[in-house]
Amino acid sequence: MSALTHVSAGAGETPPPVPQPARRGRGWVPYLLLLPGALWLLVFFVVPLIQLFTVSLQSQFPGYPGYYYRDLNFGNYVTAITEFAPQFGRSFVFAGLATFFAFCLAYPLAYAMAFKAGRWRNVMLIAVIAPFFTSFILRTVAWRQILADEGPVASTLNTLHLLPGGRITETWVAVVAGLTYNFLPFMVLPIYASLERADPKVIEAGGDLYANGFTTFRTVTLPISMPGVLAGTLLTFIPAAGDYVNAELLGSDNTKMIGNVIESQFFRVLGGFPTAAALSFTLMALILALVFVYVRRFGTEELL
């Protein structure tokens, strides 16, 4: 994560961390510094999550839709997950595809920035972040226009008879394309940060020893950038799996993801709170499990 924030903080070259002296004595100072922020996170992150969990176990008053009582109704989870299994599956498949495509696009870009850009490096870095400055909803709507039936992409493909269904919007292709687009910079920046830290001489040495460009890439460059790839994968996959804006604006009823279900259960289905809470909690549990497997496997320092 530091990769992303480093870059967006405008630090072109990341200085290496310096070992910090530990301060001893005056044991209350750190707690005083910690207190306000930790308290805020406690009240607005931890407590709401506990509340979400209790809501996910609530039952409805029979005959009073929209009124709930405290309960330990684990059945909510069973009904929610079985009823919305397709949307759950879609979320993970779409997010997985988007992460894969984002990687394919991000790697050459990050590689070019780190090794080929020379004095254009900072310009390219700003160019990667700059699209963020336009509201992401406006950009997603722009994709709707670009991919629309009468738009340039669909009409070109149609004249070439390359589009079997005749359209791109309201298909899963549009949703995955939107997700890939929206979270691409989150993939580029960490990969760039890890490549930038690498010593170009190591890669040159690889070239000297193997002579073959592809082998050098596979055995030297890719392993060096692995921490960035892993951080980028998480930073792309997590928001993509929970997103509902792309599916709403670019997709159809057949491409709804779990985020769409959670949103509509909360706002448009009377008595949907327990189901929505159960779905949210399941999503969070699945993603946190994924993150912890990652962190366990590859260490925390690169991610934090």
Partner 1 sequence: MIRWLGNRFAMITALLVLFYLFLPVAYTFVFSFNNYKKSNITWNPEGSPTLKHWKDPCGAPGVCESLVVSLQVGVIATLAATVLGTLLAFAMVRHRFRGRGTSNILVFVPMATPEIVLGASLLTIFVQGFSNIGLQLGFWTIVMAHIMFAISFVVVTVKARLQSLDPRLEEAAQDLYAGPGSTFWKITFPLVLPGIVGAALLAFSLSFDDFIITNFVSGNETTFPKFVYISYLRGIPAQANVIGFSMFVIALALVIGGQLVGNARKK
Sites for partner 1 among residues 73-102 (CB under 8 A): none
Give dist(CA 290, CA 109) in Å, integer.
Answer: 27
* Amino acid, res. 138: L
Q: φ and ψ at 271, to 5 degrees?
A: 80, 15
Between 46 and 226, name the residue whose CB sits nearer to partner 1: 46
Q: Is 88 left (phi over 0), alpha (psi -120 to 50) or beta?
A: alpha
Q: Which of residues 182-241 bind partner 1 (CB under 8 A)?
A: 184-185, 213, 234, 238-239, 241
Q: Which stretch binds partner 1 (CB under 8 A): 23-31, 80-88, 165-173, 200-208?
A: 23-31
160 is an interface residue for partner 1 by CB under 8 A: no
Q: Which of 57, 80, 98, 106 binds partner 1 (CB under 8 A)?
A: 106
Give dist(CA 284, CA 281) in Å, integer.
Answer: 5
Q: What does the block give as tokens for 17?
A: 């961390």
Q: Which of 93, 96, 100, 115 binds partner 1 (CB under 8 A)?
A: 115
Give dist(CA 66, CA 44) in Å, integer.
Answer: 24
Between 19 and 165, name the residue whose CB sits nearer to partner 1: 19
Give dist(CA 100, CA 121) in Å, integer.
Answer: 25
Query: Which x/- pattern over 275-304 shows residues binding partner 1 (rule: CB under 8 A)?
Result: -xx--xx-xx--xx--x-----------xx
Q: How many residues at the interface with partner 1, by CB under 8 A?
A: 105
Q: Which residues contact 202 (CB under 8 A, 6 or more apart)?
A: 220, 224
Q: Which of 85, 137, 205, 226 binds partner 1 (CB under 8 A)?
A: 137
Residue 82 beta carbon to partner 1: minimum distance, rounded to whole angstroms: 20
Residue 163 beta carbon to partner 1: minimum distance, rounded to whole angstroms: 19
Instruction: Name which of 103, 143, 127, 126 is nearest 245 in CA terms.
Output: 143
Q: Which of 81, 124, 224, 269 binds partner 1 (CB under 8 A)?
A: 124
DSSP character for 256? Answer: -
Contact 155, 170 (CB under 8 A): no
Rg of the chain (C-alpha set) = 23
Instruction: Name which of 223, 229, 230, 197 is nearest 11 in CA terms.
Output: 197
181 is an interface residue for partner 1 by CB under 8 A: yes
Between 224 and 291, name the residue whose CB sits nearer to partner 1: 291
Residue 111 beta carbon to partner 1: minimum distance, rounded to whole angstroms: 5
Q: What does the block give as tokens for 170?
A: 């309201």
Between 35 and 226, name the residue whose CB sits nearer to partner 1: 35
DSSP character for 268? Answer: T
Residue 249 beta carbon to partner 1: minimum distance, rounded to whole angstroms: 7
Residues recorded for the chain: 304
Q: Which of residues 36-65 bind partner 1 (CB under 8 A)?
A: 36-38, 40-42, 44-49, 51-52, 55
Residue 226 beta carbon to partner 1: minimum distance, rounded to whole angstroms: 18
Q: Which stretch binds partner 1 (CB under 8 A): 81-89, 160-168, 202-210, 262-270?
A: 262-270
Q: What does the block give as tokens for 107?
A: 């790697």
Q: Which of 266, 269, 271, 298 binds partner 1 (CB under 8 A)?
A: 266
Q: What does the block give as tokens for 94?
A: 């779409």
Residue 173 beta carbon to partner 1: minimum distance, rounded to whole angstroms: 15
72 is an interface residue for partner 1 by CB under 8 A: no
